[in-house]
Structure 1
Amino acid sequence: MQTAGALRRGLGLNRRQFLAATTGLTAAAAVAGVGPLASAAQAAGNGSNGVLVPPGKRGIILYTVRDAISRDPRSTSLPSGFRPVLEELSRIGYKQVEFAGYSQHANSEGGANLETVEGARLLRGWLDDNGLEAEGNHGFIPGSWPLTPADLDRFKLHLEIANILGFGHVGTGNDPTGSAYKADWDLAADKWNQLGLIASAAGLKLYTHNHDVAYSFLLDSGPLNAQGRPTRSSGIRRLEYFLQITDPENVWLEMDIFWAHVAQFRYRTFTAPDGSVQESIFNPLGVVQAQTTRFPLFHAKDGKYNPATGNGYDMVPFGTGDIDYTAFFSQMGAKGYHNPMYEQDNAPGNAANPGQSLQYSALSYTNMAALRG
């Protein structure tokens, strides 16, 4: 019998690529009538018991602790710069990280800019020393289309850095386009399909990320405005359309679950081609269930429901809000496939509490580890 190691070598895959290729590749079918805010009791009834986020899958995006990474280590005894912060996150218990660029304070070990091959090797050593795996980066995606030679070279440098760091994925923290119009999403899909081919050739999965507006309704029909743009919608949401027209073998998504729930709160109606107003409630969990392996990463960002705000939620440490992560993680399918990264945009504290982002990271790790189905 051929061993797993022999099979992996025969396929030309590294260990991370082999595990990704052989874990949870069967997408779950959409479950009718299951909402993203289903109760934990309902989630427990699906037969998925035990730990929902295994120890090796508990991650954090370093944007959450950007204040600690960017502060001057000579000004404080708190962890500052990449190396001490990675050490602290490992001590807390995290096993995965997602980068948000490669810059730190100039007085930190290695200097200010680690967006180089040499900087990547330094970072990889610190990751390995602390038992951490890096899964991706919110980094450079070319804005030009068609690609300029300079943009292509920089993109390829980012792929080289990603492979040095051991990523399985490479991506961005931005939506593919901020436009509401179908024609612009068609252009974005053309670009992402091409970039995805380049990333796949380097052994990486290219992913985009959502904010709430990416799940608002696409303007694709109805009367045209003075600029010749459509003014009404067929009811499809922007990023769902993007999923339909991009290659599932080369383009993936990282759902920010908080912003998806903000979209559920904000974008509930659209104006149909006939001028009528139609209601359509967004279901983040249902979108994932329908093609769960298109979402290899998540931002596990929590929110406390507050309809008095424009977003409907206040951002809080993971496990202290009202987004039902027990239901989400137990019902999304492809158990063991996904990589949830704790994120909290407002985690950094002020001068009175400079350690807040790492304190919130510890609290959020504890709550993520406690999730049971």
Structure 2
Amino acid sequence: MTHRRDFVKQVGLLAAAACVQPELLLAAPVAYKAGIQLYSLRDYIGQDAKGVLAKVAKAGYQEVETYGYSPEKHYWGLKPTEFKAVLAGNGLTTPSGHYDLGAYLREGNEALLDTTIAAAKACGQQYVIVPYLDEKLRATPADFRAIAAKLNKAGARCKSAGLRLGYHNHDFEFKPIGGTTLYDVMLKETDPKLVDFEMDIYWVVRAGQDPIKLMQAHPKRFPLWHVKDMDKAKPDLNTEVGSGSIDYRKIMAYAGTAGLKHAVMEQENFSLDAYQSIAQSAAYMRKNLLGALKKA
């Protein structure tokens, strides 16, 4: 039994600790939500977006990341507010989306950026992610610096609209050119207050890099991850999370270092039924990766 004197003492200790480290009162572990990049289901979603989203929720996902938005077709025929409503009806939200900003990065097309920001806000997203960079834009270190400057500018526009800009990697960002790499330059020359990174862990490993070392070298820069596993026999292929060669249990221990907020499963090819596959990955993620960590 706790006596009143002990209780008062404990409260006093907590209050003193809170004055020094107020975050201690908010340090309870918060489970991450399981997310999916809808590109995984690109063969299906254009035919029946509402049906696919219902199946995604049934498979165990709580968040979705979009791709392929256009002002003409919107989100697979659904306008942003309609898309948001369909998500809500299935217990889903969309924290992030991949948007083709090539015309902005090539030509400074700010109208495209404005359209993108408006769509992302209307469906409830917090992150606008650059998913790819044209090869012509990344030929020299000078190109790398120019891209970083444009990302900073776009990040400022996103920030003023209440959003965050992010960049999603493949493996080409780690190719040495002129004594450096695109990823090194972007990490060093983009402003952390304006530009985040979505680490595609599969592509980092495929490039021969160590995702944990990147997180340690650049803490809090990676609030989003693509949790994509590598087939053990054929590393150029994906497989269900937990079945491949990437040790996600070990990597997940560094979620706080990375500043992780959203873990997004993506699988670009399947050896079994797609819905069975994504359900298997969701189950593994929720049981083994997402439940016992403190959110950054």
What's the TM-score bracket when you normalise by the shorter of the two chains?
0.7 to 0.9
Q: Select 1:121's aligned residue among 73, 81, 84.
A: 81
Give yes or no for contact 2:49–2:76 (8 Å, CA) kept in 1.
no
- The structure-2 alpha-carbon separation of the partners of 1:118 and 1:315, relative to structure 1 and needing over 3 Å to count, comes to closer
Kindly indicate whether the alpha-carbon contact (under 8 Å) linking 2:229 and 2:243 is maintained by their aligned counterparts in 1.
Answer: yes
Task: Give the structure with the larger helix fraction.
Answer: 2
Matched, 1:98 2:42: no
Q: Given the alignment, which residue of 134, 138, 142 partners 2:94?
A: 134
Q: Which TM-score applies when normalising by structure 1?
A: 0.64
Amino acid at match of 2:203: W
Q: Which moved more, 1:335-344 or 1:317-326?
A: 335-344
Report deviation, 1:166: 0.9
Q: 1:300-358, CA deviations, whole angstroms, 9 ceiling, x for partnerless residues? A: 0000244xx6xx453111111010000001124258842111101113x7xxx7xx222
Instruction: Output the CA distance in 2 between the equivalents of 1:344 and 1:93.
Output: 15
Give deviations 1:185-244, integer Å, cap 9, x for gaps: 01111111111111111111111111111112232xxxxxxxxxxxxx2xx432022110
SS at match of 1:371: helix
Aligned pair partner of 1:258 in 197, 202, 207: 202
CA distance in structure 1 between the partners assigned to 2:172 and 2:260 by the alignment: 27
**CA separation of 1:194/1:88 partners in 2, compared to 1, >3 Å: closer, same or farther?**
same
Q: Which residue of 2 aligns with 1:70?
A: 46
User: Does 2:277 match 1:360?
Assistant: yes
**SS of equivalent residue, structure 1 residue 286:** helix
The residue that corresponds to 2:112 in the other structure is 154
State the shift of 1:289 in Å: 2.4
Contact 2:223 2:261 in 1 (8 A): yes
Indicate whether 1:59 and 2:35 are aligned: yes
* Counterpart amino acid of residue 325 in structure 1: Y
Counterpart in 2 of 1:179? 138
Structure 1 residues 292 and 338: alpha-carbon distance in aligned structure 2, compared to 1, 3 A threshold: farther
CA pair 127-243 structure 1, distance change in 2 beyond 3 A: same
Tell me the distance in 2 between the aligned counterparts of 1:200 and 1:117.
28
Give the superposition deviation at 1:142: 4.0
Runs of 4+ in structure 1 deviating by more than 4 angstroms, as ranges, are 115-118, 144-148
Q: Equivalents in 1 of 2:174, 2:85: separation in Å?
A: 39
Structure 2 residue identity aligned to 1:63 = Y
Letter of the 1:331 partner, please give it: Y
Ranges in structure 1 where 5+ consecutive residues have no aligned partner: 1-21, 25-50, 72-80, 104-111, 220-232, 265-281
**Match of residue 286, structure 1, among 189, 192, 213:** 213
Partner of residue 192 from structure 1, selected from 129, 151, 169: 151
Which position in structure 1 is the counterpart of 2:248? 325
* Deviation larger for 159-168 or 117-126: 117-126
CA distance in 1, matches of 2:181, 2:167: 16
Task: Check conservation: 2:148, 2:189, Cα contact below 8 A.
Answer: yes
C-alpha displacement of 1:296: 1.2
**Number of positions where the alignment pairs a residue of Structure 1 with one of Structure 2:** 263
1:300 partnered with 2:217: no
Describe the SS at the equivalent of 1:87.
helix
CA distance in 2, matches of 1:200, 1:85: 32
| 1:238 pairs with 2:198 | no
User: Contact 1:176 / 1:188 at 8 angstroms: preserved in 2?
Assistant: no
- Checking the alignment, whether the CA contact within 8 Å between 1:117 and 1:160 is kept in structure 2 is no
- Which of the residues 50, 55, 63 maps onto 1:83? 50
Identity of aligned residues (%): 29
Unaligned runs of 5+ in 2: 1-21
The equivalent residue for 1:108 is none
CA contact (8 A) 2:221 2:258 kept: no
